[in-house]
């Protein structure tokens, strides 16, 4: 590669980085001003970092959304209506070991009675309020029927589906010719 190409590419990256850094510092200054003026209420701790080769901020904060006119009762946080009505895909992990396939799914704010779980073929389907997810299972060799166990606690659904037990009778035999 030529030096001209390197200068063009890395020069553009350097310019972009400078613009982002300038914007970040401006936004942090705006936040600091909003805290000083009382527009942004709560407990805040903002510390600039200015060391050789390092520039930035450490910002920690805790706030609540306003209150009534006397400032006594904070408003409860409420999602906008258009977001509440949207179907969301829950965070999901799928694990398997030699005996089971395990699905862990986050369903915050859902009542256990609102969860519908269906397993068919190599898919598990979960519906709960405004959550929906179809999970592809990593194997078809799973027990059928009521052998699966599901538990819901603290907003997390855990489903354990046992794998079929391999026995000599259901494993195909292969005869190997000895030469």
Q: Does domain 83-162 have CATH number 2.60.40.790?
A: yes
Q: Can you name the residues that pair with 84 across neighbouring β-strands?
A: none
46 vs 61: CA distance, rounded Å: 8
pTM of the model: 0.49
Instruction: Encode pLDDT of 128-169 as tens digits.
Output: 988 999 999 988 888 876 788 999 999 999 999 999 887 555
CA nearest to 105, candidates 151, 163, 161: 151
The residues near 86 (Cβ < 8 Å, ≥ 6 apart) are 130
Domain residue spans of the chain = 3-62, 83-162
Angle at 65 between CA 61 and CA 108, to 5 degrees: 85
């Amino acid at each position: 590669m030529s030096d001209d190409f390197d200068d063009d590419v890395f020069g553009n990256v350097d310019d972009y980085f400078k613009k982002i850094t300038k914007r970040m510092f401006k936004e942090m200054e705006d936040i600091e001003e909003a805290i000083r003026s009382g527009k942004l209420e709560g407990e805040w701790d903002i510390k600039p970092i200015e060391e050789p080769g390092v520039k930035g901020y450490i910002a920690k904060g805790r706030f609540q959304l306003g209150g009534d006119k006397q400032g006594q009762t904070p408003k409860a946080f409420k999602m906008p209506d258009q977001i509440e009505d949207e179907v969301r895909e829950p965070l999901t992990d799928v694990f398997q070991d030699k005996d089971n396939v395990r699905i862990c799914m986050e369903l915050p704010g859902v009542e256990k009675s609102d969860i519908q779980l269906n397993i068919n073929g190599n898919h598990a389907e979960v519906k709960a309020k405004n959550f929906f997810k179809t999970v592809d299972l990593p194997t078809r060799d799973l027990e059928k029927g009521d052998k699966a166990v599901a538990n819901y606690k603290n907003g997390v659904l855990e489903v354990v589906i046992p794998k079929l037990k391999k026995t000599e009778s259901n494993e195909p035999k292969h005869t190997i010719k000895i030469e």
